[in-house]
């Protein structure tokens, strides 16, 4: 087991190392679409890359419908195994809509032996999410 401080330091080391290994400016929150953001998630059980919709319900539904209409393109041309969850609950209980791709095996941010695999997964998967977004931003935004 790791203390909270040891865990915090490992997390910090991972994200610093990821930034140095794959130096680029990710879109993340800078989508220019209210409530739509990209996220990396890595904890002691899993790693995933997500596109989250966290706006008010009306705008979330509108954006979700556009993403659903692009689902076959996203799957055929970018991320075949992407998961669509219209109702996804965060750990704090907040309901959002999420498109995501988890790494298909158990990994832990506390295990440095899994870091390189997760970094490569993050880089490749987020690159595909961003390419899809750039190609279809105008449709999603309208």
Would you give per-residue pLDDT tens digits along the chain (142 residues)? 778 888 899 999 999 999 999 999 999 988 998 899 999 999 999 999 999 999 888 889 999 999 999 999 999 999 999 999 999 999 899 999 999 999 999 999 999 999 999 999 999 999 999 999 999 999 998 7
Sheet holding 83-89, edge to edge: 36-42, 47-53, 95-102, 83-89
Return the domain boundaries, the chain: 4-141
3-state helix, strand, coil in the chain (%, to 5): 50, 20, 30
Give the model's pLDDT for residue 139: 94
Give the model's pLDDT for residue 57: 86
Tell me the CATH number of domain 4-141, given options 2.130.10, 3.30.1460, 1.10.287, 3.30.70.
3.30.1460
Contact 79, 92 (CB under 8 A): no
Give the model's pLDDT for residue 29: 86
Instruction: Reduce the DSSP state of residue 47 to 3 states and report it.
Output: strand
Cα–Cα distance measured from residue 57 to residue 120, given in angstroms and rounded to the nearest whole number: 34
Q: Considering the entire predicted model, what is its pTM?
A: 0.91
Q: Is beta strand 95-102 parallel, antiparallel or unpaired with respect to 83-89?
A: antiparallel
Cα–Cα distance measured from residue 26 to residue 114, given in angstroms and rounded to the nearest whole number: 22
Give the model's pLDDT for residue 82: 98
Give the model's pLDDT for residue 9: 93
Give the model's pLDDT for residue 142: 79
């Amino acid at each position: 087991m790791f203390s909270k401080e040891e865990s915090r330091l490992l997390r910090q080391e991972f994200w610093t190392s990821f930034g140095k290994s794959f130096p680029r400016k990710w879109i993340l929150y800078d989508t220019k679409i209210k409530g739509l953001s990209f996220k990396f998630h890595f904890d002691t059980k899993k790693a995933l890359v997500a596109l989250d919709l966290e706006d008010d319900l009306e705008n979330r539904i509108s954006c979700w419908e556009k993403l659903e209409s692009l689902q076959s393109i996203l799957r055929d041309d970018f991320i075949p195994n992407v998961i669509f969850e219209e109702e996804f609950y965060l750990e704090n209980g907040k309901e959002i809509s999420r498109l995501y791709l988890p790494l298909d095996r158990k990994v832990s941010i506390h295990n440095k032996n899994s870091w390189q695999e997760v970094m490569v997964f993050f880089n490749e998967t987020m690159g595909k999410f961003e390419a899809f977004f750039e190609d279809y931003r105008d449709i999603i935004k309208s």
